């Protein structure tokens, strides 16, 4: 079974919107065991959409069209599919009723133009999942099939998981299960990860039970993705569990989380397990540490608050940093202790440094000092971070949180790894 993805929208071609939908769908198709050899983008033009759809059907068994299902005049995916199918559009009253109920529940009057969304190609059926106003469609065409899903990522994903992928697997006769698990790491390079995992890669190449891939994720570190195929969910889970165990033995505390676990979520969980509260003092990061922490649901159980001590006088007057250089190991250590005392927390963290573009106090851009205070004792570390001003600040956030993570787990890894 081969399935092609066509993303619809002139804004995609102009670079006004990045097409993340096709990337996500490609990953899901791979996990479902469905081959996908081509992905296409096409603007909101009827003739070009019809041409792209016919080309895709000539080399694939199924096509997923993403986008162009809205109520405006440039939403013409339904019309293009109808022409390829050789049928007209018919009004689906169940969709019309859903649209009326959708607007009524929100206390709004439905524009008549929304009823265009209830016009579907004759012979097509709508996808039951419909979180918004755009109905997804399943359009049979002989032994082949066209799926139409909205461009809104949330709506598209619900429809793909609820209807499209199960239908594709049924048509393909796929009985095996393919799943992936991703270990998230921080503190080493991709080359070093490859060296550490080389022996395990050789073993897996010989057995074929699973594959390992390394994925760079910018400021979020490096991901080690394990993919396995087995006859059932239980069997594939066993393989992934075993491989995760092997990789954790190899990588140790370089691994900070699994799948969607962020560094801040992991750190907050460790603090909560230990009954500890946290406060942060930020200069160079300007509140970015606090922002990431408070984005995690339930952070209030641990996080006391933060002080953005950007000006030198705020450092001195609010969190009791002694007079003197404010971009230094001593200042970072004092900031962590000061915010800990000021906000009544068990643990204090701090950042100070130079994000650029100019140097400061004799330090080059990218020089950042990280402070940590716990149990009446403090420490500070100097790091040299790459990139422009924004990337330096973001790297500083993750480096600071990772420092605390390592201390909480009692790791033997160095606090400031040199890649």
Q: CATH number for the domain including 231? A: 3.30.70.2860
Q: Are residues 280 and 234 in the same domain?
A: no
- Domain assignment present for 387: yes
Same domain, 64 and 161: yes
pLDDT at 418: 53
143, part of any domain: yes
Label the pairing between strands 3-8 and 255-258.
unpaired
Same domain, residue pair 214 and 297? no
Instruction: State which residues form the domain around 68.
Output: 3-172
Exposure class string for 182-216: b at 16+ Cβ within 10 A, else e: bbbbbbbeeeebeebbeebeeebeeeeebebeeee
Same domain, 146 and 44: yes
Residues 267 and 381 reside in one and the same domain: yes
Which domain-ending residue is among 222, 242, 258?
258
Same domain, 148 and 208: no
* 354 in the same domain as 305: yes
- Assess whether 273 and 405 both reside in one domain: yes
Specify the CATH number for the domain of residue 147.
Answer: 3.40.980.10
DSSP state of 24: H
CA distance 11 to 295: 30
Q: Are residues 32 and 117 in the same domain?
A: yes
Token pair 């106003």 in the structure block, residue: 133
The answer to whether position 419 is within a domain reads: no
Residues 214 and 312 in one domain: no
Answer with the one of 190, 225, 258 that is the final residue of a domain. 258
Say which DSSP state 42 is in: E
Considering the domain boundaries, does residue 238 fall inside one?
A: yes
Q: At which of 223, 239, 258 does a domain end? A: 258
pLDDT at position 417 is: 63
Does the N-terminal peptide bond of residue 357 adopt cis geometry, omega within 30 degrees of 0?
yes
pLDDT, residue 226, reads: 95
What HEC string does 226-277 produce?
Answer: EEEEECCHHHHHHHHHHHHHHHHHHHHHHEEEECCCCHHHHHHHHHHHCCCC
**Residue 207 domain flag:** yes
Residue 414 lies in a domain: no
Residue with tokens 């000539």: 58
In a domain, 416, yes or no: no
Residue pLDDT tens, the chain, 419 long: 999 999 999 999 999 999 999 999 999 998 888 999 999 999 999 999 999 999 999 999 999 999 999 999 999 999 999 999 999 999 999 999 999 998 999 899 999 989 999 999 999 999 999 998 999 999 999 999 999 999 999 999 999 999 999 999 999 998 788 889 999 999 998 999 999 999 999 999 888 889 999 998 888 999 999 999 888 889 999 999 999 999 999 999 999 999 999 999 999 999 999 999 999 999 999 999 999 999 999 999 999 999 999 999 999 999 999 999 999 999 999 999 999 999 999 999 999 999 999 888 899 999 999 999 999 999 999 999 999 999 999 999 999 999 999 999 998 787 776 54
Structural domain count, the chain: 3
DSSP string, 58-112: HH-SEEEEES--SSSTT--HHHHHHHHHT--EEE-HHHHHHHHHHHHHTT-PPPG
270 and 254 in a common domain: no
Mark whether 159 and 232 lie in a shared domain: no
Report the pLDDT value the prediction gives residue 419, as an integer from 0 to 100: 47
CATH value at residue 324? 3.90.950.20
């Amino acid at each position: 079974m081969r399935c092609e993805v066509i993303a619809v929208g002139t804004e995609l071609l102009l670079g006004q919107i990045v097409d993340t939908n096709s990337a996500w769908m490609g990953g899901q198709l791979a996990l479902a065991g469905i081959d996908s050899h081509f992905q296409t983008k096409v603007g909101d033009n009827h003739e070009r959409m019809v041409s792209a759809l016919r080309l895709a059907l000539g080399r694939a068994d199924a096509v997923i069209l993403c986008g162009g299902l809205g109520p405006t005049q440039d939403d013409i995916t339904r019309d293009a599919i109808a022409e390829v199918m050789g049928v007209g559009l018919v009004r689906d009253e169940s969709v019309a009723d859903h649209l009326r109920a959708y607007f009524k529940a929100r206390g709004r009057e439905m524009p008549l133009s929304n009823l265009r969304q209830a016009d579907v190609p004759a012979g097509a059926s709508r996808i039951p999942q419909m979180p918004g106003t755009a109905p997804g469609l399943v359009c049979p065409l002989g032994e082949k099939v066209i799926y139409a899903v909205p461009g809104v990522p949330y709506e598209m994903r619900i429809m793909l998981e609820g209807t499209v992928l199960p239908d594709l697997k049924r048509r393909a006769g796929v009985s095996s299960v393919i799943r992936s698990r991703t270990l998230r790491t921080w503190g080493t390079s991709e080359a070093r990860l490859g060296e550490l995992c080389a022996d395990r890669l050789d073993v897996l190449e010989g057995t074929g039970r699973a594959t390992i891939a390394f994925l760079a994720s910018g400021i979020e570190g490096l991901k080690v993705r394990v993919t396995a195929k087995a006859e059932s969910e239980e069997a594939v889970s066993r393989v992934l569990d075993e491989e995760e165990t092997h990789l954790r033995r190899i990588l140790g505390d370089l691994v900070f989380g699994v799948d969607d676990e962020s560094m801040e979520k992991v750190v907050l969980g460790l603090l909560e397990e230990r009954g500890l509260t946290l406060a942060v003092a930020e200069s160079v990061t300007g509140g970015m540490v606090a922002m990431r922490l408070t984005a995690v649901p339930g952070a209030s159980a641990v996080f006391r608050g933060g002080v953005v001590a950007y000006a030198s006088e705020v450092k001195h007057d609010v969190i009791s940093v002694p007079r003197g250089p404010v971009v230094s190991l001593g200042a970072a250590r004092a900031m962590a202790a000061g915010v800990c005392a000021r906000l009544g927390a068990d643990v204090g963290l701090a950042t100070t440094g130079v994000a650029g573009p100019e140097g400061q106090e004799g330090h080059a851009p990218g020089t950042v000092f990280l402070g940590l205070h716990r149990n009446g004792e403090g420490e500070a570390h100097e790091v040299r971070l790459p990139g422009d001003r924004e990337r330096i600040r973001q790297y500083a956030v993750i480096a600071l949180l990772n420092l605390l993570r390592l201390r909480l787990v009692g790791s033997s890894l160095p606090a400031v790894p040199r890649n």
